[in-house]
Every structure is written in structure tokens, then in C-alpha cells.
């Protein structure tokens, strides 16, 4: 990455304007050409330096219900329980974390009822308790990773 | 120290219109990186460019679109460490201080979630990212300093940090094409 790549990446992480020619707006701010902004963004995307470029949608606004759930899984059963949990298509993300509650996953469903039934099914199949931590308030979602 | 009180963002939970759904389906994998991206979308949606721009603004205002931006690959950008910090904040302070913590540049997600007593006494979750273990430890200390007056006191720990040791599953959340 050269200096201009870094400037473009840092600037566009913060959100680009909605306008007919947004890359011209960015180019003016960074004192370069629209063509440079477009080429460099395309290259960064192709190269995998960007995982995506475009509108970030709030999943909840698209309809549906979400929760963060956690379990305390005995180490000797970890693989087996991972299989049980991951088999649910409604489980979007699942992470092993270093804590007594060592499995944390996001459940994404069409409705609250479906969330409750997925949780119940996981409890039945694993014979373990599932802790349910639905969001009560969202303060921020986003991330700025300066390069 | 709090420079603004937390204001609940009253988000219009209006259901998506058919054309908004089409717009989302077209753009959830990305915005075309071309000189006039909205002209391209207008053609595909059979709408005027001005209407597409206005619809985009409206989705942004309603919070359906959080922002239109580049998302760097964390690992490629050198951010290989993350921690889920969790805090036991006094109930009547959690909204003000949640907003404050959410504004820190190294916090990617910040939520109030219910406690699950007696096993889990934390009600504020803040995900932090850094380039090494020292950095995330330093970020955690910064949050602790900001929260020092409002953490619960008692027999429980007031905070913890859960680092991930393995990704077990990761799939994107996508709007599905309309089921009729």
C-alpha cells in the first residue's frame, strides 16, 4: 500500500457521501483524481485488503430477530456441542472464547419465537443451558481501523 | 465529563417497500465502484437517479443503512487481536456511559444486554480491536478509567475480557429474495 492507498482507505472507512459522483467528492478532499480513487479501491477489493465496499445494512432493520447466546461447554464435549450448535442454519457466528462461558454465538431468525425455539432445541440436544443475551440498547456498531 | 446525554435514536421501523428491498438486494454485496454508481443502480431499478439518491438518503436517515463505506479485512490491516469486554455498570448510568464507550475509536460494537444472575452480572458489552495483546489490554484500561465511578461494587467482579480462541462458524447475514 502506498501513501495514497492508505489515505483513501482511512477516508472511505468513515463513510462516503451519497451523491451522483461520490468518488469525485473523495478525490477533491484528498487532492487526487477520481480515477485514482476508483482504481485504488477496485484494486484493494480485488486484492482482499477490503472485505467489502458499499452500504452497511443494519441486519435488524431488514426484518428478523437476533440474539447473542452463550454456553458453558465441558472441554471434552466441545467438538460434539460445536457440531450441534453449528448445524442450525439460524446460528450465524460462533466463537470459542476463553471464559467459563466458552461458546458464544449469534442466532438470527425471522421472529423472536423462532429464537426461543432454536435455543430450546439446542438445550435439548446438548443437555446444557443456553444463556440468552438479547440487545437492550445499541450504542454503536462500526469500526475504524486506521492503516 | 459526559459531553452529551444519551438520546435514544427513534428509528422509524417502517417496513421496507418493494423497491427498497430490490435496492438492498442489488447493493448488499457492494456498491459498484464506478464514476456514477447511482446511475447504474437507477437503470437496473428503472428509476430516476434523483429518486435513487433520495431513497438512499432516506435509508441512511432511518438507520437501515449504517453508512456507505470501505470495510478493511481486519487481519490484512494488521488488527489480529480482539476482546469482548464486559462491564457491570449501575443500571441508571448504563445508557449514558454506553454511548460514551461506543464513541471510542477502537470499539466496534457496544451494547447493553441483560444480566443473567447469579452467573453473569455484566450489562454492558464493548468489542475492542488492536494490533497486539498489549494494545487491547491498554484499551480495556482506558474503558475502565472512564467507567470507574459507575461500576457496581459488591461481591462480583466488575468487569472481564473474553478473547476469542477460535472461530467456530462465520456466515454473513443477508436479506433473502422475497418469498411469495
Q: Flag whether pLDDT at A65 surpasses 60.
A: yes
Q: What is the pLDDT, as a whole number, of residue B5? A: 34
Short-list A117, A131, A120, A26, CA closest to A70: A131
Q: What is the pLDDT of residue A43?
A: 97
B111 and A12 within 8 Å at the Cβ level: the answer is no
- Above 80 in pLDDT, residue A34? yes
| Sign of the C-alpha dihedral computed for residues A115, A118, A122 and A123 taken in this order | positive
Question: pLDDT value at position A17?
Answer: 97
Query: For B58-76, b where at least 16 C-beta lie within 10 A, e where not — what string?
Result: ebbebbbbbebbbbbebeb
Query: What local confidence, expressed as pLDDT, does residue B176 receive?
Result: 65
A51 three-class SS = strand
Check pLDDT > 90 for residue B177. Answer: no
Q: What is the pLDDT of residue B8?
A: 35
Tell me what the pLDDT averaged over chain A comes to: 94
pLDDT at site B53: 98
Average pLDDT over residues B14-23: 90
Task: Render pLDDT for B151-169 as a digit per residue (tens, 0 to 9).
Answer: 998 878 999 999 988 889 8
Quote the CA–CA distance of A131 and B86 in Å, as a whole number: 15
Backbone angles phi, psi at A86, to 5 degrees: -65, -20
User: Which of helix, strand or coil describes residue B151?
Assistant: strand
User: What would the 3-class secondary structure string for B29-77 be?
Assistant: CCCCCCCCHHHHHHHHHCCCHHHHHHHHHHHHHCCCEEEEEEEECCCCC
Closest CB to B72: pick one of A82, A96, A147.
Answer: A147
pLDDT at position A110, please? 84
pLDDT tens digit sequence for B108-150: 999 999 999 989 999 999 999 999 999 999 999 999 999 999 9
Cα B9 to its chain centre, rounded Å, is 14
Chain B residues touching A34 at Cβ < 8 A: 35
* Cβ atoms of B142 and B91 closer than 8 Å: no
For cell 477460535, name the residue: B166
B161 backbone dihedrals φ, ψ, rounded to 5°: -135, 125
Average pLDDT over residues A127-145: 91
How distant is the alpha carbon of residue A88 from its chain centre?
Answer: 18
pLDDT over 50 at B7, yes or no: no
Of A41, A141, A144, the CB nearest to B109: A141
- Model confidence at B56, pLDDT cuts 50, 70, 90, reads very high
- Whose CA is closest to B166, among A74, A131, A82? A82
Residue B14 has pLDDT above 90, yes or no: no
Complex-level ipTM: 0.84
Burial group, residue A48, by CB count within 10 angstroms (0-12, 13-18, 19+): exposed
Which of B64, B79, B113 faces A68 most closely, judged by CB atoms? B113
Q: Which residues of A touch B61 (CB under 8 A)?
A: none
In this predicted structure, the answer to whether residue B12 has a pLDDT above a threshold of 70 is no
Give CA–CA dist B23/A107, Å, rounded.
Answer: 25
Q: Which residue, B39, B66, B34, B40, is CA-closest to B50? A: B39
- State how far the Cα of A67 lies from the Cα of A60, in Å rounded to an integer: 10
DSSP letters, B88-131, are -B-GGGHHHHHHHHHTSTTEEEEEE---BTTTB---EEEEEEES
Look at residue B168 in the predicted model and tell me its pLDDT: 92
pLDDT tens figures, B64-107: 999 999 999 888 888 889 999 999 999 999 999 999 999 998 99
- Check whether A23 has a pLDDT greater than 90: yes
Residues 6+ apart with CB under 8 A from B64: A57, A58, A61, A62, B16, B20, B24
Say if residue A70 is exposed, middle or buried (CB neighbours under 10 Å; 0-12, 13-18, 19+). Answer: buried
- Interval A103-115 mean pLDDT: 93
* Yes or no, beta carbons of A98 and B171 under 8 Å apart: no
CB contact under 8 A, B64 and A134: no
pLDDT band with cut points at 50, 70 and 90 for residue B178: low
What per-residue confidence (pLDDT) applies to B109?
93
Q: How many other C-beta atoms are found inside a 10 Å radius of the C-beta of residue B3?
A: 6
Amino acid at each position: 500500500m502506498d501513501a495514497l492507498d492508505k489515505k483513501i482507505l482511512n477516508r472511505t472507512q468513515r463513510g462516503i457521501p451519497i451523491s451522483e459522483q461520490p468518488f469525485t467528492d473523495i478525490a477533491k478532499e484528498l487532492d487526487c483524481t477520481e480515477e485514482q480513487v476508483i482504481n485504488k479501491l477496485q484494486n484493494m477489493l480485488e486484492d482482499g485488503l477490503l472485505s467489502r465496499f458499499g452500504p452497511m445494512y443494519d441486519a435488524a432493520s431488514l426484518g428478523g430477530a437476533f440474539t447473542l447466546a452463550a454456553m458453558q461447554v465441558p472441554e471434552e464435549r466441545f467438538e460434539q456441542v460445536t457440531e450441534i450448535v453449528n448445524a442450525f442454519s439460524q446460528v450465524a457466528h460462533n466463537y470459542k472464547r476463553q471464559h467459563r462461558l466458552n461458546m458464544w454465538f449469534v442466532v438470527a431468525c425471522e421472529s423472536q419465537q423462532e429464537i426461543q425455539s432454536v435455543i430450546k432445541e439446542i438445550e435439548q440436544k446438548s443437555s446444557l443451558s443456553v444463556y440468552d443475551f438479547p440487545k437492550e440498547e445499541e450504542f454503536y456498531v462500526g469500526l475504524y481501523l486506521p492503516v | 465529563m459526559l459531553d452529551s446525554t444519551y438520546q435514544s435514536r427513534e428509528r422509524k421501523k417502517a417496513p421496507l417497500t418493494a423497491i427498497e428491498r430490490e435496492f438492498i438486494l442489488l447493493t448488499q454485496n457492494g456498491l459498484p465502484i464506478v464514476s456514477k454508481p447511482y446511475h447504474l443502480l437507477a437503470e437496473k431499478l428503472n428509476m430516476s437517479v434523483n429518486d435513487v439518491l433520495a431513497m438512499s438518503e432516506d435509508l441512511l436517515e432511518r438507520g437501515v443503512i449504517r453508512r456507505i463505506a470501505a470495510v478493511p479485512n481486519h487481519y490484512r490491516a494488521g488488527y489480529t487481536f480482539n476482546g469482548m469486554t464486559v462491564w457491570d455498570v449501575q443500571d441508571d448510568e448504563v445508557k449514558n456511559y454506553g454511548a460514551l464507550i461506543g464513541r471510542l475509536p477502537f470499539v466496534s460494537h457496544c451494547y447493553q444486554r441483560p444480566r443473567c444472575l447469579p452467573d453473569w452480572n455484566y450489562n454492558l458489552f464493548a468489542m475492542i480491536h488492536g494490533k497486539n495483546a498489549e494494545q487491547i489490554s491498554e484499551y480495556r484500561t482506558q474503558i475502565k478509567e472512564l467507567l470507574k465511578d459507575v461500576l457496581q461494587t459488591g461481591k462480583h467482579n466488575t468487569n472481564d475480557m473474553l478473547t476469542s480462541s477460535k472461530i467456530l462458524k462465520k456466515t454473513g447475514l443477508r436479506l433473502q429474495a422475497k418469498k411469495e
